[in-house]
Each structure stands twice: as structure tokens, then as C-alpha cells.
């Protein structure tokens, strides 16, 4: 029997496991292939929903589901913390001492937030990158009397590169809807000398900000934050004060990757950008945030990559090679207000050109937020 072990039950791990099961349905049913998913909590988070929670567009409970409800019944869910991968022996060591062996491994362990890397961040900044903090930001905004809001990205790479843009535009609309925009300032800071990393998108977003009276500070690489004084300083020597700080903390790959000799200095796995195999490691595929591929760390990236990884896993199980190629496909909506959006669609060769923001694009995103569980996680379409 061949064992396929998937590490991580988030967007990438869940959809890839379901896709592999579908492609190898006969082998799984016949007992020649076993698929196992290891996840720390066994609770699946639809993280794009966290931004919606901030602005009361989704309820917190709508962003989570039990992983066991999303995986096909023939896939075994192992609720445990991965401590180490022994790539030479093809083993995974779990906290508590259990060992799992594999023939093929898929790493989908996402990214980890590290607010402690910026002194003062945890005490001073509101974030929306985890559910409980998204709820806290929602509550802080409900009682915000007006003042200066600073949006800060503490370092690259981070997941959902468009999320800081989205929260900025949504804040602008939110303050207007509460009638306190004229008593408020919004300041957008970003660590590179433009408002967004993709050249065809940055000027479009910059114009939207300028049109809405949003101040831009780039490059701004935050060094320290003083929670008592409500001020932050940057590597470039600038100081900004705030009444409310919305921050995206530094990101790294999962700790066990470093311990396993699989991670680079940021704990991202060096990955072939077409085959999605771990460089120099036999039988290991990587997808989602965990890769070091210089492309958006996004759920849509993980979803498109999962199609390729599933085909390659099925091919290798059947004695072939990993011939399917990931061409760098990404599709992300960008909320440009509370009820309008645009989107970016691109691949390695074709850069995105976001269309004019509209209610229709916002509506498509809203429908996707509901369709996600069947469409992406259960991989039904
Ligand atoms: C606020 C916000 C908004 C976003 N909006 C969008 C959007 O609009 N569009 C979009 O495409 N993307 C968006 N994203 C990004 C998207 O959510 C991530 O890129 C995506 O979840 C990555 O998928 P993944 O499978 O790689 O990792 P994850 O979905 O994070 O899953 C990783 C899983 O691995 C598990 N895990 C990690 N380490 C271990 C371990 N040691 N042992 C056991 N289990 C472990 C974790 O518990 C988790 O379940 C957003 C993210 C945020 C935070």
C-alpha cells in the first residue's frame, strides 16, 4: 500500500487531499492507497473571512468548520502537532511520540505570524490576521471616535498581499458611513518604495488612495512601536503617531520545517516553481504559503497549486513522473470599499490589470465567500 501524508489542513492541504482522493478513487477504495491529513487543531479556517468579520460582513462562526466535515470520508484526519520530518527515512514525527511513515509527502503547513519580531507590536497593534484579533479590531472600530489610523505591513513576504490595501479602502468607507471621516486621517505604510509589489497594480491602487485622501508613506520599514506614546519609528528614520494602529505582523514558515532541514532562513521550503517538488528531496511536494516561490501567498495560489500537486501525486503513485506544471496562476479579489471590488488575475508570464472597481465584482467575492466550503475546500467543482 502507498501512503500519501498531507501536513496541514488549511486551504491547500484540504483541497489537495480531496483532489488526490478523487484522482485515485479506485486505488483508495481498493486499499492500495491511503491518504492522511495531519492538522494541529482539526479546525479549518477560511481566513479571507477574517477581514469580513472586521466590517460585520461575516459572523465569526462562518469562518471556521471542522476539518472532518470537509475531507472525504475515506481520508484519515490525524489531529496532532508535527514536530519533525525525517526526509531520509520518509517519516513524520508527531508531538507525543507517534511516528507516521509516508511514500509521498505534501507540505501545506501555511505561514506563522511573528508579532514579537517588532518590539511593541503585540501591545499596540490591532491585526485581523487571526479570528480573535479580527473581532477585537471590529469592536475597536465600532467605538472609534475619529482620529488617526495607521495601516502598517511589518515585513515581506506576508499572506494575502492585497489585504492591507483592502482594509485601508474598507476603513475609508467605514469611517464615511459612520460620519467621522472628516475627523479622521488614514495613513498607509508599506515596506517597499511603492504601495504594492506588482508594477501594473501599484499605480492603480495609489490613485485610488490619493482620490480618497489617504496618506501614503513608502518605504516604511517599522523598527519599534511605543504603545504608551502610540508612535512608531521606521528604519528610514520616520516617526508616525496613531490613535489606532492596524498592523500585519512579520510572517515565517512553520517551525518544524527548520527543525527538519527543509526550510530556508525564513522557514519557507525551497520549491520547484513548476513541479512544486521540494528542492533536492525525493517524494516531497509543497504548496500554499509554505513554498519559497516569489508569488502571492494566497488561498487562490494554494488552490491552483493543489490541482497540479494532486495530478503529480496521482501520476507518481501510478509509476509515472510529476509532469503537471504550475504556471503561476493566481486570482484575488481586492475590496476597494465596503460594497465594491476589483480583482487581479495573473500567472508567471502575464501580469494583472485590475478592472475598474464595481459592485458586481464585490458581489462575486461575496458569493465566493459562501461557496468556498464546497467549491474549494471540498473540491467539488
Ligand atoms: C485576513 C486574511 C485575508 C485573506 N484574504 C485572502 C483572499 O481574499 N484571497 C486569497 O486567495 N487568500 C487570502 N488570504 C490568504 C490565505 O488565507 C492563505 O494564503 C491560505 O490560507 C494559505 O493556505 P495554506 O494551506 O498554505 O495555509 P493555511 O490555510 O494557513 O493552513 C495551514 C494549516 O497547517 C496547520 N499546521 C501548521 N503547522 C502545523 C504543525 N506543526 N502541525 C500540525 N498542523 C500544522 C495549521 O494549523 C493550518 O490548519 C487571506 C489571509 C488572511 C489572514
**In angstroms, what is the span from residue 20 Cα to ligand 1's centroid?**
19
Q: Provide the sign of the torsion angle of the four alpha carbons 51, 138, 219, 195, taken in this order.
A: positive
**In angstroms, what is the span from residue 82 Cα to ligand 1's centroid?**
16
Q: Is the CB of 161 within 6 Å of ligand 1?
A: no
Q: Reduced to 3 states, what is the DSSP secondary structure of residue 226? A: strand
**Residue 61 neighbours by CB under 8 Å, 6+ apart:** none
Q: Reduced to 3 states, what is the DSSP secondary structure of residue 171? A: helix
**Over residues 222-228, mean pLDDT:** 98
Q: Is the CB of 164 within 6 Å of ligand 1?
A: no
Q: Is the CB of 40 within 6 Å of ligand 1?
A: yes
**What distance lies between CA 134 and its chain's CA centroid?**
15
Q: Provide the sign of the torsion angle of the four alpha carbons 215, 337, 194, 49, taken in this order.
A: positive
One CATH from 3.50.50.60, 3.40.50.2020, 1.10.150.20, 3.30.70.2860 for 2-110+254-329+373-377: 3.50.50.60
CATH number of 114-251: 3.50.50.60
**Which pLDDT value is given to residue 93?**
98
Q: What are phi and psi of 238, to 5 degrees?
A: -90, 150
Confidence band of 380 (pLDDT split at 50, 70, 90): confident
Residue-wise pLDDT tens digits, 102-126:
999 999 999 999 999 999 999 999 9
Domain with CATH 3.50.50.60 in the chain: 2-110+254-329+373-377, 114-251
**In angstroms, what is the span from residue 158 Cα to ligand 1's centroid?**
11
Residue-wise pLDDT tens digits, 333-347:
999 999 999 999 999
Residue-wise pLDDT tens digits, 56-98:
999 999 999 999 999 999 999 999 999 999 999 999 999 999 9
Question: Ligand 1 pocket check: which of 110, 154, 157 to mutate, most ligand atoms within 8 Å of Cβ?
Answer: 110
Pairing outcome for strands 82-86 and 91-94: antiparallel
Please name the residue whose Cα sits nearest to atom 17 of ligand 1: 47
Residue-wise pLDDT tens digits, 1-19:
999 999 999 999 999 999 9
Nearest atom within ligand 1 for CA of residue 43: 49
How far apart are the C-alpha atoms of 337 and 166, rounded to whole Å?
A: 7
What's 48-103 look like in SS3? HHHHHHHCCCCCHHHHEEEHHHCCCCCCEEEECCEEEEECCCCEEEECCCCEEECC
**pLDDT tops 80 at residue 381:** no
Question: Ligand 1 pocket check: which of 8, 297, 300, 330 to mutate, most ligand atoms within 8 Å of Cβ?
Answer: 8
Residue-wise pLDDT tens digits, 233-280:
999 999 999 999 999 999 999 999 999 999 999 999 999 999 999 999
Q: Is the CB of 10 within 6 Å of ligand 1?
A: yes
Q: Is the CB of 288 within 6 Å of ligand 1?
A: yes
Q: Is the CB of 195 within 6 Å of ligand 1?
A: no
Percent of the chain with pLDDT over 70: 100
**In angstroms, what is the span from residue 376 Cα to ligand 1's centroid?**
13
**In angstroms, what is the span from residue 71 Cα to ligand 1's centroid?**
16
Residue 80 burial (C-beta neighbours within 10 Å; 0-12, 13-18, 19+): middle
Name 2's bridge partners.
Answer: 33
How far apart are the C-alpha atoms of 273 and 232, rounded to whole Å?
A: 37
pLDDT, the chain, mean: 98
Nearest atom within ligand 1 for CA of residue 94: 42
**Residue 279 neighbours by CB under 8 Å, 6+ apart:** 270, 271, 272
Residue-wise pLDDT tens digits, 173-203:
999 999 999 999 999 999 999 999 999 999 9
Residue 145 burial (C-beta neighbours within 10 Å; 0-12, 13-18, 19+): exposed
**HSE-up (13 A, CA, CB side) for residue 117:** 16
| Angle, helix 163-177 to helix 202-211, in steps of 10 degrees | 20
How far apart are the C-alpha atoms of 190 and 197, rounded to whole Å?
A: 10
**Which pLDDT value is given to residue 261?**
97
Q: Is the CB of 158 within 6 Å of ligand 1?
A: no
How far apart are the C-alpha atoms of 336 and 308, rounded to whole Å?
A: 31
Amino acid at each position: 500500500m502507498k501512503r500519501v501524508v498531507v501536513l496541514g489542513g488549511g486551504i491547500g492541504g484540504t483541497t489537495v487531499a480531496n483532489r488526490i482522493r478523487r484522482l485515485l478513487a479506485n486505488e483508495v477504495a481498493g486499499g492500495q492507497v491511503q491518504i492522511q491529513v495531519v492538522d494541529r487543531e482539526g479546525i479549518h479556517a477560511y481566513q479571507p473571512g477574517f477581514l469580513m468579520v472586521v466590517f460585520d460582513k461575516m459572523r465569526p462562526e462562518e469562518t471556521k468548520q471542522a476539518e472532518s466535515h470537509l475531507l472525504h470520508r475515506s481520508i484519515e484526519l490525524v489531529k496532532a502537532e508535527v514536530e519533525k520530518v525525517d526526509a531520509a527515512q520518509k517519516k513524520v514525527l508527531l508531538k507525543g511520540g507517534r511516528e507516521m511513515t509516508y511514500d509521498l509527502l505534501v507540505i501545506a503547513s501555511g505561514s506563522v505570524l511573528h508579532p514579537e519580531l517588532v518590539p511593541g507590536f503585540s501591545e499596540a497593534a490591532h491585526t485581523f490576521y487571526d479570528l480573535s484579533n479580527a473581532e477585537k479590531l471590529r469592536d475597536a472600530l465600532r467605538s472609534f471616535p475619529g482620529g488617526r489610523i495607521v495601516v502598517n505591513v511589518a515585513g515581506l513576504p506576508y499572506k494575502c498581499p492585497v489585504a492591507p490595501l483592502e482594509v485601508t479602502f474598507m476603513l475609508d468607507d467605514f469611517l464615511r458611513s459612520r460620519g467621522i471621516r472628516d475627523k479622521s486621517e488614514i495613513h498607509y505604510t508599506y515596506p517597499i518604495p511603492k504601495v504594492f509589489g506588482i508594477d501594473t497594480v501599484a499605480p492603480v491602487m495609489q490613485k485610488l488612495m490619493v482620490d480618497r485622501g489617504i496618506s501614503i508613506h513608502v518605504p516604511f520599514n517599522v523598527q519599534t512601536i511605543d504603545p504608551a506614546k502610540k508612535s512608531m519609528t521606521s528604519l528610514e528614520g520616520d516617526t508616525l503617531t496613531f490613535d489606532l494602529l492596524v498592523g500585519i505582523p512579520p510572517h515565517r514558515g512553520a517551525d518544524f520545517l527548520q527543525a527538519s532541514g527543509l526550510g530556508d532562513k525564513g522557514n519557507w521550503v525551497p520549491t520547484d516553481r513548476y513541479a512544486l517538488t521540494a528542492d533536492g528531496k525525493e517524494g516531497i511536494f509543497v504548496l500554499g504559503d509554505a513554498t519559497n516561490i516569489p508569488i502571492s501567498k494566497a488561498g487562490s495560489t494554494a488552490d491552483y497549486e493543489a490541482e497540479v500537486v494532486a495530478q503529480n501525486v496521482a501520476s507518481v503513485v501510478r509509476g509515472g513522473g510529476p509532469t503537471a506544471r504550475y504556471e503561476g496562476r493566481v486570482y484575488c479579489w481586492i475590496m476597494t470599499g465596503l460594497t465594491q471590488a476589483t480583482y487581479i488575475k495573473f500567472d508567471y508570464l502575464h501580469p494583472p490589470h485590475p478592472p475598474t472597481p464595481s459592485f458586481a465584482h464585490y458581489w462575486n467575492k461575496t458569493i465566493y465567500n459562501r461557496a468556498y466550503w464546497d467549491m474549494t475546500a471540498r473540491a467539488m467543482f
